[in-house]
Amino acid sequence: MIVSPRQRSMRVGQYSLLCLYMLFLAFPLLWMLSVSFKGPQELVQLHPHVFPSQPTFGNYTDALEHNGLLHAAWNSFKVSSITAILAVFVAVPAAYVLARQQGLISKAGMGWILLSQMFPLILIIMPLFLVLKDLHAINTHIGLIATYLVWTLPFSLWMLQSYVRGIPPQLEEAAMVDGAGRLTILRTIIAPLLGPGIVVVALFVFVQCWNEFFFALVLLDSPNLQTLSLLLARFVGIEGIVRLGPLAASALLATIPSLLIFAFIQRFLTRGLLAGAVKG
C-alpha cells in the first residue's frame, strides 16, 4: 500500500495529538507519583520539580504503617464488592422485566430511573439518615451497602435493559415452545448473553462505591469502619495543613485496585463482545 506524503503527515499529526491528549489525562497521576517520592523539604520548595531530587519511600511507609491504609482499603473492597454483587442480582431480573414487559410497570420503572437521577444527594441524605437510624443501621457497613445499592441501581437498570433489548425475543419464544419458564429462560439464556453488560455494571458499581465519599462521611462514625475515601480526607488537618507526601502515596495506592480490576475484566469484556458478534 502506497502512502502519500500528505497522508503520512496527517497520520503523524493525529498520533502526536493523541499522545498529547494521553499525556494531558495522565499528568495528574504522574504528578501524584512524583509527589509521593518527595521528602518534606522538597515538598515545600517554591519552584517544584517533576522528578524528585532525593526519592524516598518514607511517604509509603507512613501511609501503610501509621494510618491504617490497609484496613480502610479492606473496608472499601468489602463494601464495594458486596454492593456490586447485589446490584447485579437485583438489576438482571428487573432489567429483563423493564425490557420485555411493555406496560404500566415498565413505564413507571423507567420514569423512576430518570427521576431518581434529578435529585441532588444533599436533598436525600437527611431522610435517609433518619430511616437508617430507625433501622439501627447507622455506623454499620450494612447500612452503607444498602445505601450504595439503591444509589447505583438506576444506572445499572438503565444499562442492562438496553442490553436485554438487544437480545432477539425469538430465542425466548423457542425456549417457551420447549416448555421453559421465565426463570429458566432468564437463567439459561438471558443471563449468559448479558455477560458483557453484567461485567460493565459490576465494574461501574464497584468503582462508584470505591470512590464514594459523601454517604460514607455521613453514615460512618467509627474509625474502625471507615473506608478509603474517609481515610484520605484525614490527611488534611484542622487548620488546613495537608500532609501532602503521605496523602499522595495513599491516593496513588488507592487507585491501583480500580486499575487492576479494570485491566483484568477488560479481557473478558472484549471476548464477550466479540463472541456475541460472531454468534449473532
pLDDT tens-digit series, residues 142-199: 999 999 998 888 888 888 888 888 888 888 778 888 777 778 888 888 888 888 788 8
Query: Is 264 within the bounds of a domain?
Result: yes
Per the domain annotation, does 182 fall within a domain? yes
Interval 65-82 mean pLDDT: 86
pTM of the full predicted structure?
0.79
60 part of a folded domain: no
Set of cell numbers at residue 237:
488537618
pLDDT band at 279 (very low <50, low <70, confident <90, very high): very low
- Please state which of the ranges 86-100, 197-211, 244-258 shows the lowest mean pLDDT: 244-258
Query: Which pLDDT score, from 0 to 100, does residue 277 have?
Result: 41
Q: In the predicted model, what is the mean pLDDT of residues 78-86?
A: 93
CATH of residue 230 = 1.10.3720.10
pLDDT at position 269 is 58
- pLDDT at position 264 over 90: no
Instruction: Look up the domain containing 118 and give its range.
Output: 66-279
pLDDT digits (tens, 9 = 90+) for 115-129: 777 777 778 888 888
For 126-142, letters b (16+ CB in 10 Å) and e give eebbeebeeeebbebbe
Q: Within a domain: residue 153?
A: yes
**What does the alpha-carbon distance between residue 70 and residue 228 come to, in Å, rounded to a whole number?**
9
Higher pLDDT, 236 or 22: 22
**14 belongs to a structural domain:** no
CB proximity list for 254: less than 8 A, separation 6 or greater = 73, 228, 232
Task: List Cβ neighbours of 29 (8 Å cut-off, separation of 6 or more).
Answer: 252, 255
Counting the structural domains of the chain, the total is 1
Q: Would you say residue 212 lies in a domain?
A: yes
Q: Which three cell numbers stand for residue 278?
A: 460472531
Q: Is residue 193 part of a domain?
A: yes
73 within a domain of the structure (yes/no): yes
